[in-house]
């Protein structure tokens, strides 16, 4: 009997040890522990072991790691919320943000970082990225080439580094996740201190073209749906040493060449220009939506590009985000939204998560009027505050941003269902719903016709715009 019990105990012990050996690894996200490293040096542990998959729990939930307003598969105004939003995580802020600012050094030290900018470290970050996306329930991500892979000593080495990391990203994406957009980082390296496509040096122009060529190829390979051009240093500090006309011509030729190459390799994604007024240059050539549209029109590129509107850039240019979105929308060029905001008491681009429900509602008004923004979406070009240093904060910030935009969509649905705001606007312009109004809008009323009408009608009566009523109706939906 004793021998049989001992044999049974040994058998159970072996089964238990075998189960441990075959169980999936759940190492903490601590690079110093080494428990997640295999023979190739690539991390295989769990980066966010204390964070569950984020779920919708409704407005009454007190759980910070849950959605209160964003319910991905819930249908609003004829589409699922996830199809209205198409949320994306910005790799550079989420996984390369350090918390540094113009007055202070790094404050964030994520446990998986080993202090290097090696290819092995880049692969580890990429694994963290996809665990984050999966736990957050987001299907898209955005990247700069040099954020996901280190710059090499030569262009060939940089491309080789990028190829290694992109191969891993392709594997980790599976069939569901893909880039909302990719782009080339043409503003950090000293070679781009005078600009990239607008540099005074032809060698820099050629290097930038080669870098964009590779970035478009990589975006295409990963199944990206868009490609963005942000002219971080495409502008000037002073006109005293700048040939503005020549630089803008060079920028146009650069973008025309990008269009040609996109078509050559069969990339069907949308090309996007991201307006920004200043910072880091004193004056950037894509100042705002209207300036960018004029540029595209002048150089015959209106059919090839749309705009990526960033809310914080809009306010820096002296506009509201809603204004920039509407400017892009009415011109048929609203392609994507970088969902963030700035601080009215701080003068630079602070890239904060948008949490103002009123602003989110106005943003969603434009999106709904546009019928959605696919193949674009909402990219969280936003970063944690310098003082937020916990891994959990990465999730909380994105959850808050996603819930805010979802709440904005729900508010728009309320406004449309109520109909009062739309009726107020209709009544304000109802004088143009007459025969003469229709002639004006059709371009068939010349000055002689209008003069006769003015004499016939006499002094016009101008009704109230009902601005306060419009604001009351809007606020009631919040």
* Catalytic positions, written as ranges: 144
Identify whether the C-beta of residue 331 lies closer than 8 Å to the C-beta of residue 307. Answer: no
Strand partners, 90: 142
Can you state the percent helix, strand and coil of the chain, rounding each to 5? Answer: 50, 10, 40
- Name the token pair of 400: 């808050």
Positions of E strands within 176-247? 178-183, 226-229, 235-236
* Nearest residue to 248 (alpha-carbon basis) of 285, 292, 296: 285
Q: Name the CA dihedral angle for 180, 186, 188, 190, rounded to a multiple of 10 degrees.
A: 170
Peptide bond into 375 cis (omega under 30): yes
Residue 318, phi-psi category: left (phi > 0), alpha (psi -120 to 50), beta (remainder): left
Question: Cβ of 281: how many Cβ atoms within 10 Å?
Answer: 20
Q: Name the CA dihedral angle for 398, 404, 407, 413, rounded to a multiple of 10 degrees.
A: -110
Identify whether the C-beta of residue 144 lies closer than 8 Å to the C-beta of residue 183. Answer: yes
d(CA 247, CA 250): 5
Coil, strand, or helix at residue 143?
strand
Pairing of strands 235-236, 283-284: antiparallel
Coil, strand, or helix at residue 66?
strand
Sorted by sequence, the CB contacts under 8 Å of residue 178 that are 6+ apart come out as 139, 140, 222, 223, 224, 225
* Nearest residue to 67 (alpha-carbon basis) of 81, 77, 79: 81
């Amino acid at each position: 009997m004793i021998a049989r019990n001992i044999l049974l105990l040994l058998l159970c012990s072996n089964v238990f040890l075998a189960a441990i050996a075959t169980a999936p690894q759940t190492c903490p996200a601590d690079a110093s522990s080494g428990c997640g490293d295999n023979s190739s040096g690539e991390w295989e542990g769990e980066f966010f072991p204390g964070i569950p998959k984020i779920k919708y729990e409704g407005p009454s939930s007190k759980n910070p790691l849950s959605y209160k307003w964003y319910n991905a598969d819930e249908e609003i105004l004829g589409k699922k919320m996830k199809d209205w939003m198409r949320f994306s995580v910005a790799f550079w802020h989420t996984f390369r943000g350090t918390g540094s600012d113009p007055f202070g050094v790094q404050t964030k030290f994520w446990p998986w970082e080993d202090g290097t900018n090696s290819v092995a470290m880049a692969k580890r970050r990429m694994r963290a990225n996809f665990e984050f996306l999966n736990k957050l329930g987001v299907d898209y991500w955005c990247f700069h080439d040099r954020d996901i892979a280190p710059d090499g000593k030569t262009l060939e080495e940089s491309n080789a580094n990028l190829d290694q990391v992109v191969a891993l990203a392709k594997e980790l994406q599976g069939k569901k996740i893909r880039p909302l957009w990719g782009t080339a980082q043409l503003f950090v390296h000293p070679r781009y201190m005078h600009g990239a496509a607008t540099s005074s040096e032809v060698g820099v122009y050629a290097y930038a073209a080669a870098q964009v060529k590779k970035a478009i190829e990589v975006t295409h390979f990963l199944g990206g749906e868009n490609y963005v051009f942000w002219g971080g240093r495409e502008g000037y500090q002073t006109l005293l040493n700048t040939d503005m006309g020549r630089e803008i011509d060079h920028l146009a030729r650069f973008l025309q060449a990008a269009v040609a190459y996109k078509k050559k390799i069969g990339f069907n994604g949308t090309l996007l220009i991201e307006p920004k007024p200043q910072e880091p240059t004193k004056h950037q050539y894509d100042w705002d939506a209207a300036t960018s549209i004029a540029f595209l029109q002048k150089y015959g590129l209106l059919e090839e590009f749309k705009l990526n509107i960033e809310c914080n850039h809009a306010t820096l240019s002296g506009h509201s985000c809603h204004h920039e979105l509407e400017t892009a929308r009415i011109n048929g060029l609203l392609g994507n939204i970088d969902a963030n905001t700035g601080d009215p008491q701080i003068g630079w681009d602070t890239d904060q998560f948008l949490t103002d429900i009123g602003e989110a509602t106005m943003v969603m008004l434009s999106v709904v009027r546009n019928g959605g923004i696919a193949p674009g979406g909402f990219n969280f070009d936003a970063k944690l505050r310098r003082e937020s240093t916990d891994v959990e904060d990465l999730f909380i910030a994105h959850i808050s941003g996603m819930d805010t935009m979802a709440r904005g969509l729900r508010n728009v649905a309320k406004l449309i269902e109520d109909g009062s705001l739309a009726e107020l606007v209709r009544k304000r312009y109802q004088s143009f719903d007459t025969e003469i109004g229709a002639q004006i809008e059709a371009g068939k009323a010349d000055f002689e016709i209008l003069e006769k009408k003015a004499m016939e009608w006499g002094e016009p009566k101008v009704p109230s715009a009902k601005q306060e009523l419009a604001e009351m109706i809007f606020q009631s939906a919040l």
